Homo-oligomer: A and B are copies of this chain.
Amino acid sequence: MGEFDLIARYFTRPARRAALGVGDDCALLAPAPGMQLAVSSDMLVEGRHFFAGTDPEALGHKALAVNLSDLAACGARPLAFTLALALPKVDEPWLAAFARGLLALADAHGCELVGGDTTAGPLNLCITVFGEVAQGDALKRSGARAGDDVWVSGAPGQARLALDALRSAWRLPEAVLATARARLERPTPRVALGLALRGVATSCIDVSDGLLGDLAHVLDASGVGATIEVTPTTALIAASACPTSAGALFDAETLPLTSTQLQGCVLAGGDDYELVFTAPPARRALVRAAGAASATRVTRIGRIEAQPGLRLTNAEGQPVPNDFAGFDHFA
């Protein structure tokens, strides 16, 4: 099967929101008057971002999800995306499953595939995503102010909990692994929360490299510092990794991890695609309403301060050493 047949069979659909879609030299996009186009690119490499042999349907989902997460962090509404795909060989069942996972998530967000490229090569997926946001409404990294609360969505840490279990660093109870693995392989981009936070959050970023590492980018861009309480964040992962029928918090003590390992997953694990954002204390009710409107848990984990740097404390306000280096692709 040639390249053009491949595109036609698996990736071509009638253009809807784009003026011109797959099959010309360029796609044509026309943002509505007064709207800006938010643009982000992410590349996923086999062996680096996913294991060889990963379920292609989950991979299709994740490749788009990590890009939608960037739109979420800007408060932009998904509009369209391009896909560039390097494949070692044409494997039709693999492609069909990949396209199914990719396009199901695209449809769920009204995000249209408008173009791209296919080539032979080591497995590599590069998606560029386009969203719309009204002039001045985009959430940026640079808006955090001293006195703001620091919030996080969902329950970060699960992706790393699963990843290291799959790498045999530890063994997890089956139910915990299943839940955590779903976060690793099919993360939920927090698009609805990002949209609900426009006009509420003062800054926002998505957690791809690790909560503390990504928060540090917000602090740098905003020229501020922060203190994060380690205890409530640690509880987050325990709460969601194994929800009980009674809805009670899972007892982290029963996981075969040290407290430091568990905190490491939460604070430096990465790959969760949750949002970390800031907002003044006067907007706590608005933040909770945004969480409720988007059916997304939001948890307050710390405070922005004028003093630069990132400090950790325990529940009693005592300093905790920050031994959690952010994941870095070239570290």
Contact = CB atoms under 8 A, between A and B. Distances in A.
Contacts of A84: 41-43, 126, 128
Tell which of A30, A35, A40, A42 has the most Cβ of chain B within 10 Å: A40
Given A48-B119, A120-B330, A24 B140 contact: yes
Interface stretch (A67-75, A235-243, A283-291): A67-75
Contacts of A163: none
Contacts of A28: 36-39, 74, 133, 138
Contact of A141 (B24, B45, B119): B24
A45 B121 contact: yes
A248 interface: no
Nearest to A33: B33
A113 to B, nearest CB: 11
A62 to B, nearest CB: 14
Contacts of A30: 31, 35-37, 135
A82 B71 CA distance: 15
Copies of this protein chain in the complex: 2
Contact of A36 (B19, B41, B205, B331): B19
A203 to B, nearest CB: 10
B27 A120 contact: no
Given A26-B74, A124-B86, A115 B40 contact: yes
A13 B150 CA distance: 29
Interface of A: 1-4, 6, 19-20, 23-31, 33, 35-43, 45-49, 70-71, 73-74, 76, 80, 82-86, 90, 114-122, 124, 126, 128, 130-131, 133, 135, 138, 140-142, 204-206, 217, 221, 328-331
